[in-house]
Amino acid sequence: MTFRKVFEHPDVYQIILPMIQNSLPTVNVYLIHSKNSWLMVDAGPKTPDALEILSKDLKELKVDFDALEVFITHQHFDHWGLLKDLLPKGTSVHLSLYDYDLSGESANGKLEDLYQKRMKQEGVPKEEREAYTYVHRYYRLADKKDFKLVNAHPGDELQVGDESFKIVSASGHTPDHLVLYHKRSGMYFCGDQVLVGINPSIDLSFDGLDLMGNNLKRLKSLLDKELILMPGHGEVMHSPHERIQALYEHHFTRTQDFYKRIKEHPYASGYDLIRQNKWSIEDSWDKVFFVKRSLIIRQGFSYLNHLLEKNMIETIENGEQMRYKIS
Ligand SMILES: [Zn+2]
Ligand SMILES: [Zn+2]
């Protein structure tokens, strides 16, 4: 048994699944039970171990598949991997169809092409660009033909037995990341919006930092009452105020660092600016694991996006290369 009851009335169970080759050791699935209805929040990574554990736990909890619906916070591989192996065809799955379409763009290579083009413009060397190609792709792990995909909108309510859960936007980590808020109890199923031990990455689409910042601000506004965060990874968080504030400050401090660096080194490439920044890495750039380097590069791009969007910096195109200077 790997589940534990983390809330009563309505009953909420947290199932902890192992991850492989990732900076986080585990990922959570939640099961909410009220009257005769069940809601599963997220669906783990597609690995044999995770499938075995989750199937066993659903059986032990006597989950009735006919009365089960699913809510997916966001479509990263570790949050919707087991749908197909686990659930009967036709199960209702509430998710963002916007992000779902993006997973299709990733599958046909469109997103990767854009990312490759951006890296080239920012001066990332060819060998590195090739190594980073597949690190962050979205995978389509459930399909319209297998499930009843229901487009989840912020503001809509999701009913589970007697209980009502509000769908809230938490965009930033993915373009249309969604979370669930249970007002009466303060439970907030936050996916990867707020985590402990890691600062969730920002997606490159639009101004991801702005989105993330605004949504964290909105989350802070809920803190006048007891808020219980049910994160996608790690332990349930009571009194998450400090963590939310720290996360909010972290990315904006980093962005300020970029701004200062551009001021000090006008006409530098994005690649040079990113490598010069103070990341929490001890080794020289070449010695950092390529997955981590790729993540750092993407975060750097999102900080640059934000500064561009706010007209604080501008680009100078020099042939195929982009350079930055203060506006
Ligand atoms: Zn994620
Ligand atoms: Zn995750």
User: What is the structure's pLDDT at 197?
Assistant: 85
- Asked whether residue 314 is domain-assigned, the answer is no
Show Cβ contacts of residue 107 under 8 Å, excluding neighbours closer than 6 positions: 138, 139, 140
**Ligand 2 centroid from CA 74, angstroms:** 8
Q: 95: part of which helix (H) or strand (E)? A: strand 92-95
Q: What is the pLDDT along the chain (327 residues), one digit of tens a residue?
A: 689 999 999 999 999 999 876 668 899 999 999 999 999 999 999 999 999 999 999 999 999 999 999 999 999 989 999 999 999 999 999 999 999 998 888 777 788 888 888 999 999 999 999 888 777 677 788 899 999 999 999 999 999 999 999 999 999 899 899 999 999 999 999 999 999 988 888 888 767 788 888 888 888 888 767 899 999 999 999 989 899 999 989 988 999 999 999 999 999 999 999 988 766 666 688 888 888 888 889 889 999 999 998 999 999 987 788 999 999
Domain count for the chain, please give it.
Answer: 1
Number of the ligand closest to the Cα of 200: 1
- Asked whether residue 200 is domain-assigned, the answer is yes
User: What is the structure's pLDDT at 208?
Assistant: 74
End-to-end CA distance of the chain: 58
For the domain that residue 221 is a member of, what is the CATH number? 3.60.15.10
- Asked whether residue 141 is domain-assigned, the answer is yes
Number of the ligand closest to the Cα of 177: 1
- Asked whether residue 235 is domain-assigned, the answer is yes
User: What is the structure's pLDDT at 24?
Assistant: 81
Taken in order 269, 272, 273, 279, the sign of the CA dihedral is positive
Ion ligand 2 neighbours (CB, 5 A) are: 78, 192, 232
Cβ neighbours of 211 (radius 10 Å): 23
- Asked whether residue 24 is domain-assigned, the answer is yes
**Ligand 2 centroid from CA 219, angstroms:** 19
- Asked whether residue 23 is domain-assigned, the answer is yes
Question: By C-alpha distance, which of 79, 101, 102, 96 is closest to 150?
Answer: 96
- 3-state SS, residue 313: strand
Percent composition of the chain: helix, strand, coil (DSSP 3-state, to 5): 40, 25, 40
- 3-state SS, residue 166: strand
Number of the ligand closest to the Cα of 24: 2
What does the alpha-carbon distance between residue 80 and residue 183 come to, in Å, rounded to a whole number? 25
- Asked whether residue 317 is domain-assigned, the answer is no
**Ligand 2 centroid from CA 200, angstroms:** 8
**Ligand 2 centroid from CA 24, angstroms:** 8
Residue range of the domain that includes 142: 3-260
- Asked whether residue 223 is domain-assigned, the answer is yes
The four Cα atoms 102, 119, 116, 42 give a dihedral, to 10 degrees, of -30
